[in-house]
Structure 1
Amino acid sequence: MRQRPAWLGMKGLSGLLAGALLLLALLLQPGIGQAPPRRLTLVHFNDFYRIEGVEGRAKGGIARLGGLLERLRGQGPALALFGGDLLSPSLMSREFGGAQMIEGLNAVGLDAATFGNHEFDSRDGGVLLARLKESRFPWVSSNVRGADGSPFPGVAPRMVREAGGVRVGILAATLPAVRRPYVRYLPVLDSARQEAETLRRAGAELVIALTHLGMEEDLDLARRLPGVDLILGGHEHDAQLGRAGAALVLKADSDLRTAWVVEATVPAQGRPEFHARLVPLGMGIPQPPALRALEEKWLARLAERLGPDEPVARSEVALDGRESTLRFREGNLGNLVADAFREEGRCEISAVNGGAIRVDELLPPGALSRHQVAEILLFRNRVVRLRVPGSALAAALDHSAAQRGSGGFLQISGMRVAFDPGAPAGRRLRGAEAGGGPLRADRLYTLCTLDFLAEGGDGYAMWA
């Protein structure tokens, strides 16, 4: 027997309609019916060379990084990300090939790292390959490949990591500053765009570019890649914050003097939001005993390798080897090194890039130890003697003005220079004297400099 259809009376229909309208109203209210925003913490640092810290071990060091991460991870999901320059240069890395840095970052549980230019200081690539094999954390690089065009072992062009219920996509890019036969660089912008699109298709809700580029290149990347939410950079050694397009750009001070702590809020719809604070890693940061012991272990190994750190020279004045001086203006340690090049090489003039001087300390008056002297010029460069026309010298000085704030800024001897770093390229040099008189474009000058610069390093192609 066929059942009769059930009909709702007006009273029942009114009740059903009222319920539906109430549900619709609730769904239309902000936040109702939508997943709540998710939150996670990002910790970013870059250009980390000394596992034991700097400034008399009062700042930085792997133990303080571990203490910061331990505290933040106890409060909620947190990812630790590194923006390149790890394996070189430091006195300890010169002796041990950066093995101590990998052991330290393994111990603190790094979540991702990318290459800096100093990862390629090794001429044959053996050091890099050994350290990659020892790493228990992922390396990411979207634009660096081996000589055959394939990624280095253990290095991915992108990665996706879930944290706090958020699918975090990471791509990475490194400036093509160091040319080695075992390294091939892909175009930064093209490779980053391709990986950003791939990450979005893979469902990444927050896309981070982990970079080791100049700040202007980072800002250009942010303007051209709307699919990137956050750029965590390196290469510059002083803390920076910028914004271009929709992306925030952050860089910390070198050697873990500071780290950026970024609170990310990711809504169900729309772009992520960020609250960033620069955290000093000084005396107030706890140091887990096991990590402090790791620092001590490597310091003991260095002392055993090099022998006693005995006095070998004296200075009547403090010698300023700080990067905050030598990468921005004339410094007396830079003068001393450049003077030594000029006098020993019997040249009219000399120039050394500030980035070649690695002690990064204000050395007090008095005795200088063997280890301090070794750390002033860590790289195994040679001093070479060139004959360069004044026109090439003027171009180099103009380029140096543009490098203010980076390792390419020159410390000089036998010259007097006035420049405007904010002027356009080719117009930064306001005046120069060399060889006892005004700089002449048509005259040849004898110049003593490092082979690195003579081969075009740091952009000094005019000398190559």
Structure 2
Amino acid sequence: MTRFRTARITPLVAALLVSACAAPQAQHQAAVPAAQAPIEIGVIAINDFHGALEPPKQTVDAPDGKGNEVSVPAGGAAWLASAVDALKAQHPENVVVAAGDLTSASQLASSLYLDEPSVGVMNRIGLEFNAVGNHEFDRGWQELKRLQDGGCAKNTRFEPCQLERFEGARYKYLAAATVMPDGSTLFPGTGLKTFGSGERKITIGFVGLSLKSIPTLVAPDRVAGLKFEDEAETINRAVPALKAAGADAVVVLIHQGLRTKGAGDPNGCNEAAGDIQPILDHLNPGVDVVVSGHTHWAYVCNYTGNAAAGPILLTSAGVYGKLVTDITLDFDPVTHKLVNRKAHNVIVQSEGYTSAKGPVTTTTAFPQFQPRADVSAYVKRYKDASLQLVERPVGHVSGPMEKESEGGVGAGGSLGALIADSQLAATRQYGAQIAFVNPFGIRTSLVPAADGTVTFGQIYAVTPFNNQVVTMTLTGAQIRATIEQGLDDSGDKQVLAPSEGMKIAFDMHRPSGSRVTAIALDGKPLDPAKRYRVSVVNFLAEGGDGFAGFKDGTERVNGPIDIEAFEDWLAAVPMRKVPAEDRTTQAK
């Protein structure tokens, strides 16, 4: 028996793609009286929206059913609202849910306003439950509480309520595994929603939770005083309580996920693996559906690796609102037993754009949504308010630079090299000899105008975290061990993007912990005993993304904010050349 099984698509003629079956369907069913027909509930799910108010100028690559893979321009809050509305129309009994990271690492029009407009968008879409993700802690748990409760308390260096008094989220944040010092959870851990009435009344229970590893993903002061408990144990405690409260089915919303391999298919589950797998393996019976996130991967699959718990329908809608998951749950009208569950990721096709590789156009192979007028107007208000800053030119670069990977390993490529160079230049005064950038912190590609112009909005989209650059002292041996931490088998793999003069060679065929084959600075191998001055953002300096070695750095000096260093580097010359050298090399 395989651990994951891909749900097969059953196309129907409709305004939008219908769900792929995640359970066997009969070839023909005789008509039954309405009172005896299954009770259908629609669960409409998203994750990792990341404040993508406007179309992110990215695609969803999907098979068109005719043997072709099509790149579909997707995303944007107003188009997402229309897609959700279309699914609500298909499911008169419905609930809209999310699996975290709706805010932070956001577009500038949202981030400048502390993601208040992203919350406003979700209120307008009709979101009801959201599991807290890791990025929702980026500004601290006190600011996250403000997003839930509303108000204008100032918890960051940015001003809240700049355009309007913030009312807070009308949806409920769920954080079952996030525990305060007094033993209570930061937010409620579970929720219930009842559909219908009388004998046809159905109740669905929801468990929402974050990753246990959040302390490694967020600056420590942002989560000070909080404890993050084991995910599976937390779910196993919550399910019986929900059942006792009348839940006929249980849906878990968790900010953890999978990655798949092979051809692009947002409804596939090919060679799926990820950190959610051991969580699923330790679940007790009672969980019917898991809505996941965090990896930014899209998939629909049946998880069959835990025989005791039975098959679990597992979904993710990718990232930036480019997809929305249509989940259908059918219940027996007499026993209220869940008799069928199916899901399909619907592409939120929006508008065409120009990428680093040329024009990306809309296609009739998938449904085309129109932007919902009220959400468009709401987004426009915040976009217009931020436009002067967004469109301000900051410099010129000689060509486009894309986010990259090397054989499944996250790599910074020329864009990572450019950012690393900017941080090195900004910290030379503190003795910096090397700078490193974590590729997972690079959020999008950088595509200049025809004359090379780059705007503040573009560079902010690339690196939106406002991290401080920290310079520290590490030995050559410590540097090597830290680079190894990004390539080991304990999590997602990325090779740190180094500044000019630094070369890293690695071989993923070698055992975990010994994959770095060579490191050189200015043409000389790094001396294990020599002390070097190294600059990284404070997220990495505190052990973020699993790079615990940076926590051992001594003689620390706090430098500029990363976005300011990047802007200064671009502005320093008339045309900044795209770094041409390959600074990281993976053995084939």
User: What's the TM-score bracket when you normalise by the shorter of the two chains?
Assistant: 0.7 to 0.9
The 1-side partners of 2:90 and 2:100 are apart by 27
> For residue 4 of structure 1, what is the aligned residue in structure 2?
none
Using a 3 Å threshold, how does the CA distance of structure 1 residues 326 and 218 change in structure 2: closer, same or farther? Answer: closer
8 Å CA contact 1:219, 1:249 repeated in 2: no
Residue 343 and residue 312 in structure 1: after superposition, are their counterparts in 2 closer, same or farther (change >3 A)? Answer: closer
Tell me the residue number matched to 1:217. Answer: 275
**Residue 161 (structure 1) aligns with:** 193
Is 1:129 aligned with 2:131?
no
User: C-alpha displacement at 1:128, in angstroms?
Assistant: 1.5
Partner of 1:452, secondary structure, is helix
Instruction: Measure, in 1, the Cα distance between the counterparts of 2:128 and 2:493.
Output: 28
Distance 1:132 1:212, change over 3 A: same
Residue 326 of structure 2: which of 243, 255, 261 is its match? 261
Name the residue aligned to 1:206. 249
Distance 1:450 1:83 in 2: 27
2:233 to 182, 190, 194: 190
Shift of 1:405: 9.4
SS across alignment from 1:116: coil
Contact 1:320 1:363 in 2 (8 A): no
In structure 2, the residue matched to 1:18 is none
Q: SS where residue 68 of structure 1 aligns?
A: helix
Is the CA contact 2:412–2:438 (under 8 Å) kept in the aligned structure 1?
no
Instruction: From the superposition, tell whether residues 40 and 424 of structure 1 become closer, same or farther in structure 2 (CA, over 3 Å).
Output: farther
Q: CA deviation at 1:56?
A: 8.2
After the TM superposition, which residues 31-430 of structure 1 pair with which residues of structure 2 at under 5 Å, given as runs? 36-49=37-50, 50-55=52-57, 59-76=74-91, 77-90=93-106, 91-123=108-140, 125-133=141-149, 134-152=168-186, 155-163=187-195, 165-175=201-211, 176=214, 177-178=217-218, 179=220, 180-181=223-224, 183-215=226-258, 216-225=274-283, 226-242=285-301, 243=303, 244-245=305-306, 246-267=311-332, 268=335, 272-283=339-350, 284-303=368-387, 306-307=388-389, 309-321=391-403, 328-346=410-428, 347-360=432-445, 362-363=447-448, 366-402=452-488, 410-413=496-499, 414-421=501-508, 425-427=512-514, 429-430=515-516
Instruction: Report the counterpart of residue 534 of structure 2 in structure 1.
Output: 447
Query: Structure 2: any 5+ residue segments left out of the alignment?
Result: 1-31, 60-72, 150-167, 259-273, 351-367, 552-588
Q: Is the 8 Å Cα contact of residues 210 and 232 (structure 1) preserved in structure 2?
A: yes
Task: Provide the rounded CA distance (Å) in 1 between the counterparts of 2:240 and 2:479.
Answer: 44
Greater percentage in helix:
1
TM-score (norm 1): 0.82
Partner of 1:22: none
Residue 388 of structure 1 contacts residue 445 of structure 1 at CA under 8 Å; is this kept in 2?
yes
The corresponding residue for 1:17 is none
Q: Mark the CA change 1:239 to 1:271 in structure 2 (over 3 Å): closer, same or farther.
A: same
Structure 1 CA distance, aligned partners of 2:85 and 2:406? 30
Percent sequence identity over aligned pairs? 25
Question: Please, which moves more after superposition, 176-185 or 94-103?
Answer: 176-185
Deviations 1:281-319 (A, max 9, x none): 11312222111111111111222xx54723221112112
Matched positions, count: 427
- Deviation of 1:374 after TM superposition, in Å, equals 3.3
Report the AA paired with residue 127 of structure 1: E
Contact 1:325 1:331 in 2 (8 A): no
Report the CA distance shift for 1:207/1:384 in structure 2 as closer, same or farther (over 3 A).
same
Q: 1:98–1:170: structure 2 CA closer, same or farther, 3 Å change rule?
A: same
User: Residues 330 and 339 of structure 2 are in contact (CA less than 8 Å); yes or no, is this contact kept in structure 1?
Assistant: yes
SS at match of 1:299: helix
Residues 151-180 of structure 1: per-residue CA shift (max 9 Å, x gap): 34xx32111112464321111221123332
Deviations 1:386-419 (A, max 9, x none): 2223333233222222589969653223433344
CA distance in 1, matches of 2:408, 2:277: 25
**Local SS of the residue matching 1:110:** coil
Give 1:212 deviation, angstroms. 0.9
Q: Which range moves more in the overlay, 159-168 or 417-426? A: 417-426
Compute the RMSD of aligned alpha carbons.
3.1
Which residues of structure 1 form unaligned runs of 5+?
1-30
Structure 1 window deviating more from structure 2 (174-183 vs 49-58): it is 49-58
Q: In structure 2, which of residues 517, 520, 544 is the aligned counterpart of residue 431 of structure 1?
A: 517
CA contact (8 A) 1:115 1:212 kept: yes
Q: Which moved more, 1:223-232 or 1:362-371?
A: 362-371
Shift of 1:101: 0.9
Cα deviation, 1:8-60, whole Å, max 9, x if unaligned, reads: xxxxxxxxxxxxxxxxxxxxxxx99x965332222221111222231189531
Report if the CA contact (8 A) 2:399-2:447 is conserved: no
Contact 2:44 2:96 in 1 (8 A): yes
Asked if 1 retains the 8 angstrom alpha-carbon contact of 2:410 and 2:440, the reply is: no
Q: Secondary structure at the match of 2:132?
A: coil
1:384–1:450 CA contact under 8 A, matched in 2: yes
1:252-277 deviations in Å (ceiling 9; x for gaps) = 22101122222223344766533222
- 2-structure distance, mates of 1:422, 1:456: 26
**What letter matches 1:40 in structure 2?**
I
More divergent stretch after superposition (82-91 vs 355-364): 355-364
TM-superposed CA distance for 1:458, in Å, is 1.5
Cα deviation, residue 237, structure 1? 1.6
The alignment status of 1:461 with 2:504, answered yes or no, reads no
Contact 1:65 1:256 in 2 (8 A): yes
Q: C-alpha distance in 2, partners of 1:209/1:361?
A: 36
Q: Which residue in 2 is equivalent to 1:20?
A: none
Contact 1:354/1:409 (CA < 8 Å) preserved in 2?
yes
In 2, the alpha carbon distance for the partners of 1:35 and 1:197 equals: 28
Question: Which gives a bigger RCO, structure 1 or 2 (Cα 8 Å, sep 6+)?
Answer: 2
Alpha carbons of structure 1 residues 362 and 324: separation in structure 2 relative to 1, 3 Å = farther
Contact kept in structure 2, 1:47 and 1:234, CA below 8 Å? yes
Q: Partner letter of residue 60 of structure 1?
A: G
Deviation at 1:130, TM superposition (A): 1.8
Judged with a 3 Å threshold, the aligned counterparts in structure 2 of structure 1 residues 338 and 386 are, in CA distance, closer, same or farther, namely same
- Secondary structure of the 1:72 match is helix
SS at match of 2:329: strand
User: CA 1:214/1:265 → structure 2, altered by over 3 Å: closer, same or farther?
Assistant: same
Cα distance between partner residues in 2 of 1:364 and 1:321: 18
Residues 64/409 of structure 1: CA separation in 2 closer, same or farther (3 Å cut): farther
Q: 1:260 is matched by which residue type in structure 2?
A: T
Which deviates more, 204-213 or 173-182?
173-182
1:193 is displaced (CA, Å) by 1.2
Given that 1:327 and 1:404 are in contact with CA atoms closer than 8 Å, whether structure 2 keeps it comes out as no
Structure possessing the higher radius of gyration over alpha carbons: 1
Deviations 1:123-170 (A, max 9, x none): 4x4422221011111221211134433234xx3211111246432111
How many angstroms apart in 2 are the aligned matches of 1:326 and 1:343?
30
